[in-house]
């Protein structure tokens, strides 16, 4: 089949990137507001350490997440995810895939190409506790008509990142003594981005369906991650967790970041992968830095160190999550469908950010200049 999308490599790492940040005005009425981050927020200077300056750091992490998916192993894992999702959809009559599963590799290519060309709008907001790093929410059907060969990411999903954790990353970037901590934050948010874009991929394959059965099927998960959904008045057992499935497939387990009681409250947390037996294995520090340095060729599954920690041991020790939800989590927000009242703020400022700058900024938080999109 002839490919139905243009073949070219953009000189920009991420096109039409727009970010907003939730702010809490003083009472009354103390209602959260979401304001767009302006173009000058992309300049990192010692005099400009406001919340708007979060954009340049998070953009570098977004690029790492895209690089992971675009790698040979990432594409293969994403295609495997798509094939399994469609296979599970077709086990029941409630939802059917409208495309052709034999083109799954081409769908992956088109999906990733579209993300570079038109990245979903990003909102930095309060997602609750520190353990919830990010969320993906489908948008009501709008400008994208569901054509699988003409994907419109901005009209499909919105990505949401934990404002407290992004602020922690900003503080690490501002302190030259925290260079290693900054790289670990890049790892955390880069992997979180690849996770959330797996939810976006399922939304793409479903043509942005609002039907609960158009989400990740229950059997596509890892451990007991997932959520209970209600569909047409009947209680469905639960949906799956495509992001966790992808993590286990590519990284060797789902990612969790546990608090180190010896460190301050702005820490990243210690990175672990949870295997299929719910045993947590610490990720080697060199593997974390290696991914940040070259996410296009990730060394996966991640190399582990030390003995594993069972779920019972983690609970006995009272390990606190700083970068995910536990395997016995409450309902996750990753797969929420946004009703009209929940639609994100209109983004007035969109930028094309050169890949060369994003790669450099992931390693060293120097000034990044975005090119205003026209």
Q: pLDDT in tens for each of the 374 residues of the chain?
A: 434 433 444 455 999 999 988 877 655 566 667 777 764 454 432 233 343 356 788 999 999 999 999 999 999 999 999 999 999 999 999 999 999 999 999 999 999 999 999 999 999 999 988 889 999 999 987 779 999 999 999 999 999 999 999 999 999 998 988 999 999 999 999 999 999 999 999 999 999 998 889 999 999 999 988 765 554 455 554 689 999 999 999 999 999 999 999 999 999 999 999 999 999 999 999 999 999 999 999 999 999 998 999 999 999 999 999 987 333 333 344 444 443 333 444 556 788 888 888 898 898 876 555 666 65
Q: Alpha helix locations (H) across the chain? A: 54-70, 72-89, 104-117, 163-174, 179-205, 242-251, 285-293, 311-317, 355-363
pLDDT at position 78 is 99
> Is 58:124 a contact under the CB 8 Å cutoff?
yes
> Is 184:228 a contact under the CB 8 Å cutoff?
no
> Is 321:311 a contact under the CB 8 Å cutoff?
no
The gap from C-alpha 244 to its chain's centroid, in whole angstroms, comes to 11
Q: Alpha helix locations (H) across 90-145? A: 104-117
pLDDT at position 239 is 85
pLDDT at position 212 is 87
pLDDT at position 25 is 63
Task: Report the candidate in 163, 159, 165 with the shortest Cα–Cα distance to residue 124.
Answer: 163
Residue 3 lies in a domain: no
pLDDT at position 22 is 84
Overall number of domains in the chain = 1
Task: Report the candidate in 185, 187, 57, 173 with the shortest Cα–Cα distance to residue 122.
Answer: 57
> Is 144:155 a contact under the CB 8 Å cutoff?
yes
> Is 166:54 a contact under the CB 8 Å cutoff?
yes
Q: pTM for this structure?
A: 0.88
Pairing of the two strands 270-274 and 280-283: antiparallel
Residue 146 lies in a domain: yes
Residue 205 lies in a domain: yes
Pairing of the two strands 19-23 and 371-372: unpaired
Residue 76 lies in a domain: yes
Residue 2 lies in a domain: no
DSSP for residue 323: S
Q: Is the dihedral of CA 187, 80, 16, 142 positive or negative?
A: negative
Q: What angle do CA 131, 132, 137 make, to 5 degrees?
A: 175
Cα–Cα distance, 124 to 32 (Å, whole number): 12
Q: Is 150 helix (H, G, I), strand (E, B) or coil?
A: coil
> Is 216:242 a contact under the CB 8 Å cutoff?
yes
pLDDT tens digits, one per residue of 96-140 = 999 999 999 999 999 999 999 999 999 999 998 888 999 999 998
Cα–Cα distance, 83 to 39 (Å, whole number): 40
Task: Report the candidate in 3, 201, 214, 6 with the shortest Cα–Cα distance to residue 98.
Answer: 214
Residue 363 lies in a domain: yes
Q: Is 110 helix (H, G, I), strand (E, B) or coil?
A: helix
Cα–Cα distance, 126 to 135 (Å, whole number): 11
Residue 176: CB atoms within 10 A of its CB come to 9
Residue 123 lies in a domain: yes
Radius of gyration for the alpha carbons in the chain, expressed in angstroms and rounded: 20
pLDDT at position 226 is 75
Half-sphere exposure of 127 (CA within 13 A, CB side): 28
> Is 118:16 a contact under the CB 8 Å cutoff?
yes
Q: Is the dihedral of CA 192, 273, 222, 88 positive or negative?
A: positive
Residue 7 lies in a domain: no
Q: Is the dihedral of CA 138, 141, 145, 150 positive or negative?
A: negative
pLDDT tens digits, one per residue of 43-60 = 432 233 343 356 788 999
Note down the domain range covering 233: 12-372
Residue 104: CB atoms within 10 A of its CB come to 20
């Amino acid at each position: 089949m002839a490919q139905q999308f243009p073949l070219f490599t953009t000189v920009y790492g991420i096109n039409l990137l727009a970010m907003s940040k939730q702010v809490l005005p003083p009472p009354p009425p103390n209602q959260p507001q979401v304001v767009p981050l302006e173009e000058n927020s992309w300049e990192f200077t010692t005099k400009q350490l406001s919340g708007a300056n979060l954009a340049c750091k998070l953009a570098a992490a977004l690029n790492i997440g895209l690089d992971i998916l675009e790698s040979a192993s990432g594409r293969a894992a994403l295609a495997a995810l798509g094939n399994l999702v469609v296979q599970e959809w077709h086990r029941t009559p409630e939802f059917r895939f409208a495309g052709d599963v034999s083109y799954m590799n081409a769908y992956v290519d088109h999906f990733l190409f579209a993300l570079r060309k038109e990245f979903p709008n990003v909102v930095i907001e309060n997602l609750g506790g520190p353990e919830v790093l990010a969320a993906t929410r489908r948008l009501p059907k709008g400008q994208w008509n569901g054509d699988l060969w003409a994907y419109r990411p901005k009209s499909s999903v919105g990505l949401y990142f934990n404002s407290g954790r992004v602020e922690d990353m900003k503080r690490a970037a501002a302190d030259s003594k925290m260079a290693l901590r900054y790289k670990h934050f890049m790892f955390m948010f880069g992997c979180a981005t690849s996770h959330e874009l797996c939810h976006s991929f399922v939304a793409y394959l479903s043509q942005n369906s609002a039907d609960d059965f158009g989400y990740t099927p229950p059997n596509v998960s890892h451990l007991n991650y997932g959520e209970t959904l209600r569909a047409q008045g009947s209680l469905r057992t639960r949906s799956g967790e495509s992001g966790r499935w992808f993590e286990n497939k590519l990284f060797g387990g789902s990612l969790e970041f546990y608090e180190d009681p010896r460190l301050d409250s702005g820490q990243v947390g210690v990175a672990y992968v949870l295997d299929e037996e719910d045993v947590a294995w610490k990720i080697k520090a060199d593997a974390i830095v290696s991914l940040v340095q070259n996410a296009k060729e990730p060394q996966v599954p991640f190399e582990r160190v030390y003995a594993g920690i069972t779920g019972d041991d983690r609970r006995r020790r009272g390990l606190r999550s700083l970068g995910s939800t536990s395997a016995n989590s409450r309902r996750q927000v990753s797969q929420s469908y946004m009703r009209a009242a929940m639609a994100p703020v209109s983004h007035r400022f969109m930028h094309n950010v050169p890949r060369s700058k994003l790669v450099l900024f992931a390693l060293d938080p120097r000034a990044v200049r975005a090119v205003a999109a026209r």
